[in-house]
Amino acid sequence: MAEEIEEKNIVSEEDSEESLEEEIGFEDDEDSTGELSWKQKLILINSGVIAFLFCIVLLFPYEELARTYISKYASENNFVLEFRKLNLSFFSTKTIDHLIYQNKDNMEIRAESIDIDTSIFDLMKRNFKGNIKISSFNLELTDYAIKAGTVNIEDSSLIGFDRDLANINGTINLQIFDGKILRSPVIPMLDTLQGVTIKSILLSLKKTLNSNRLTIEKGVFTLSIAKITISGYIELSPVMKASKLDLKLCPKLTEKYSAEREDIASSLQLLTKDMPDGCI
């Protein structure tokens, strides 16, 4: 008799616990038939939607859209911009292979590869903040031609880079290594710079809004013939030749070049003899 009463009490307690769980919403994830609960179904649906959107991001033909847009924009603004391959990854470095740029002022830029570390959303808003690495860089102007093994733009930012000069603002930290001057016009006293090796060029530039002035906060040119420190500004013009320079130059010739061109070394001493810092 006592055992029957004890069994009834246990059953009653179990029924009470099940009733309480049902009242506060706790249920097994699967019912007795093995079907998924509504929570599991919701998780699976959300996972499927997220996976679908992720695939769209990865497989969307950004390169073709970008190529079409760039071609149209270049045509409207009278320049040529071509490239063999463009990778606009959302989650990693953007790359451009074999780029060619040409404008109406006979400027031509060629690069074997360009790695761009910035947000694609900033690029879509015509802004840039980040780093750029350019390999095998070539620049040709009417009178000059320069090549460089590597060009780096580090910790730089530009706002509105597709606008006219007055409405662009930002800072550029430029580094150029392993270069050479391939063509140069005749320069008084120096004759020509053709063949001069560019060991490195370090430039910190700043452009302010509503101004055509490009300020050179710091510039160091280390060449095979001299080391030149510069500062000042450039009043930019839509036509490059019409730009105006106001620069302070501090040249220091190498011993080898001073021995080869004593005339230039003597002239430089005369120019800087009254300048305590040796600048022009």
Does the pLDDT of residue 24 top 50, yes or no?
no
Give the total residue count for the chain.
280
pLDDT of residue 245: 85
226 φ/ψ angles, rounded to the nearest 5 degrees = -170, 165
**Given 3-state DSSP classes, what are the helix, strand and coil percentages for the chain, each rounded to the nearest 5?**
30, 40, 25
Binned at pLDDT 50, 70 and 90, residue 61 comes out as low
SS3 at position 197 = strand
Does the pLDDT of residue 48 top 90, yes or no?
no
pLDDT of residue 23: 45
**Rounded CA Rg of the chain:** 33
Global pTM value: 0.73
Q: Is 198 exposed, middle or buried (0-12, 13-18, 19+ CB in 10 A)?
A: buried
- Cβ–Cβ < 8 Å for 111, 134: yes
Of 19-23, 140-144, 207-211, 220-224, minimum mean pLDDT range: 19-23
In this structure, what token pair is assigned to residue 43?
A: 């998780």
Residues 207-216 have a mean pLDDT of: 84
Does the pLDDT of residue 186 top 80, yes or no?
yes
Does the pLDDT of residue 200 top 60, yes or no?
yes
pLDDT of residue 36: 64
DSSP state of 113: E
Residues 152-165 have a mean pLDDT of: 81
Does the pLDDT of residue 2 top 50, yes or no?
no
In this structure, what token pair is assigned to residue 62?
A: 């950004």
pLDDT of residue 85: 87
Rounded mean pLDDT of the chain? Answer: 79
pLDDT of residue 166: 63
- Cβ–Cβ < 8 Å for 153, 173: yes
